[in-house]
Structure 1
Amino acid sequence: MDQFDLYTIKARLFPAIVAVVPAIALAVALIEFKGFDFSQVWATIGLAVLLYVFSGIAREAGKRMERKIFLENGGKPTFDVLRYEDREFSDIAKKRYLTFLSRKIGRPFPTMEDARRDPATAREFYNESAAFLRENTRDTQQFRVLFDENISYGYYRNLLGLKVPAILLNALVSLVSSAFLMNFHGPWSFDVASLKYVLVAAAIHVAYLVFVVTEQRVLDASRRYSRQLALACEVLIGYAE
């Protein structure tokens, strides 16, 4: 069982929480807190367990979304920032990184002609290079920027996976809140007016999901992560010298 490490909290748990924010707001508006009792301890424990379960759901939803994005964009992306047609790095920097990675994975790096003639073999080299770098950059303190970019990618990927159910839940919460407000003077034991804030939260929530949580945002986060992964070569080359 995975522990609640920083990656799990930020890249898996946070998307799950964001997805259900309107429901949390509705629950807070409907439940009266008249004092602390032992039942609230169990409720807190139950909430922690539910959040852990939701973090796993977010991860699985993100993985499904990732496969969908890969399929729509021609397959699993390779280490694109080191491909010859990509201009993220200079040719000199690319050659230095490719030469280093070639020594580490034990196979020659593809020339531009090789990549054009046999793209599948070139793809294998880039994939193996990325795998080598991931395995050798697990020190999250030394490679902090890389770790942060990995979290950013995981967050947007997992939240994108939850986007549709989150919007549906948002709509349900909005309907329930509107129904209570339409019957404002019913025999309710809670402050119905507070549901106006739930509707405001729901509006902000759906705007964030629609305009911020997009496939392009995931692709951009993926590219930023790839760039930092390539830059890790600078540190690893220094160790090798």
Structure 2
Amino acid sequence: MDVFKLFDAYSLRARLFPAIIAAAPAFAALALLISWKSFGLSNLVATLGILVLLFAIADFSRSRGRAIEGKLYAKHGGMPSITMFRRNDTTLDAGSKDRYREFLAGKLGTAAPTVQEENADQGAADAFYGQCGNWLRQNTRDTKKFPILFSENVTYGFRRNLLGVKVLALCMNVIVVALCALILWQMSWDIDTRMGNKTTVVLVVAVAHAAYMLLAVSHNTVWDASKAYGRELILSTEAFLTPAKPARKTAARKTASKTTTAAPPEP
């Protein structure tokens, strides 16, 4: 059975991939330190263990990612798709945001906050902008029609969930490194070049993996992706404001042309 078929495009790239990256040293250890020449009980246990581990880490990364998401919003003053809609935010031009407010207010069946109302009660205005974001998320699920928005959403989900399992991944690295060190220490009395090479490869993978998790996975990278997604979500309103292209009337034009050019019947 192909495990990847169990996931949709978003789940595969934003949930499963972080799980695979987080457990990379453990997978490397299982692949190199267990003999795969014949499929025995140990191989079956290892295969099932990998599958269970993938699902477990993917679920854990999502829950931890959501917890981190809430802390990021609180730290930076709110969700980007809300804060960028505010009149005191200059990420998007004021004219475009006025048009978006008017359109979304019509879709929501409520009045958009005026400048005075927003200045007097930013919380009430943010509640309206939150409803705008919800409407846009529900109406931009067509990934073919909104490919850029989907790509930004995947990037954000990937970074958020990977940050969610950062501590777990580093702990697994410590365990794998300790295991490799123990194997190499025991081999100092019983030299096995092949096993030593495999263990060294796993050790190198674990070290490189730890460096990546420490240097490339951070709150800043997640926040940057969150802002990019929030901006693109607001800009997706433009697609609803752009009039649809008129249907082609080629057949009608040809018929009209034939009627015009045809000679009238003789009396």
Shift of 1:12: 0.7
Q: Distance in 2 between matches of 1:93 and 1:109?
A: 14
Q: Is structure 2 residue 230 aligned with structure 1 residue 226?
A: yes
The equivalent of 1:208 in structure 2 is: 212
The equivalent of 1:69 in structure 2 is: 72
Amino acid corresponding to residue 60 of structure 2 in structure 1: I
Q: Which moved further from structure 2: 216-225 or 56-65?
A: 56-65
Q: CA offsets, 1:26-85, max 9 Å, x none?
A: 122211121456985775466334423332222112122223333444455552222212
Q: Distance in 1 between matches of 2:191 and 2:19?
A: 30
Q: Distance in 2 between matches of 1:182 and 1:144?
A: 52
Q: Is structure 2 residue 192 aligned with structure 1 residue 194?
A: no
Shift of 1:131: 0.2
Q: CA offsets, 1:118-141, max 9 Å, x none?
A: 011011011000000000001111
Q: List aligned pairs for 1:164-203, cutoff 5 A.
A: 164-186=167-189, 191-203=195-207
Relative to structure 1, the CA distance from residue 240 to residue 127 in structure 2 (aligned partners, 3 Å threshold; closer, same or farther) is: farther
Q: CA offsets, 1:178-217, max 9 Å, x none?
A: 2222233455876122222222212221121112111111
TM value normalised by structure 2: 0.80
Amino acid corresponding to residue 134 of structure 1 in structure 2: R
Q: Distance in 2 between matches of 1:67 and 1:222?
A: 12
Q: Matched residue pairs, number?
A: 240
- Contact 1:78 / 1:123 at 8 angstroms: preserved in 2? no
Amino acid corresponding to residue 12 of structure 1 in structure 2: R
Q: Distance in 2 between matches of 1:182 and 1:46?
A: 27
- Which of 91, 110, 117 aligns to 1:114? It is 117
Where 1:191 maps in the other structure, the secondary structure is helix
- Which of 133, 140, 158 aligns to 2:136? It is 133
- Contact 1:140 / 1:147 at 8 angstroms: preserved in 2? yes
- Contact 1:181 / 1:193 at 8 angstroms: preserved in 2? no
Q: Distance in 2 between matches of 1:152 and 1:158?
A: 10
What percentage of aligned pairs have identical amino acids? 38
The equivalent of 2:57 in structure 1 is: 54
Over aligned residue pairs, what C-alpha RMSD do you find? 2.5
Where 1:82 maps in the other structure, the secondary structure is coil
Q: Distance in 2 between matches of 1:199 and 1:157?
A: 27
Structure 1, unaligned runs of 5 or more: none
Shift of 1:144: 1.0
TM value normalised by structure 1: 0.88
- Contact 1:10 / 1:151 at 8 angstroms: preserved in 2? yes
Q: Distance in 1 between matches of 2:74 and 2:54?
A: 30
Amino acid corresponding to residue 238 of structure 1 in structure 2: T
Shift of 1:17: 0.9
- Contact 1:13 / 1:58 at 8 angstroms: preserved in 2? no
Q: Distance in 1 between matches of 2:204 and 2:43?
A: 28
Q: Distance in 1 between matches of 2:159 and 2:94?
A: 31
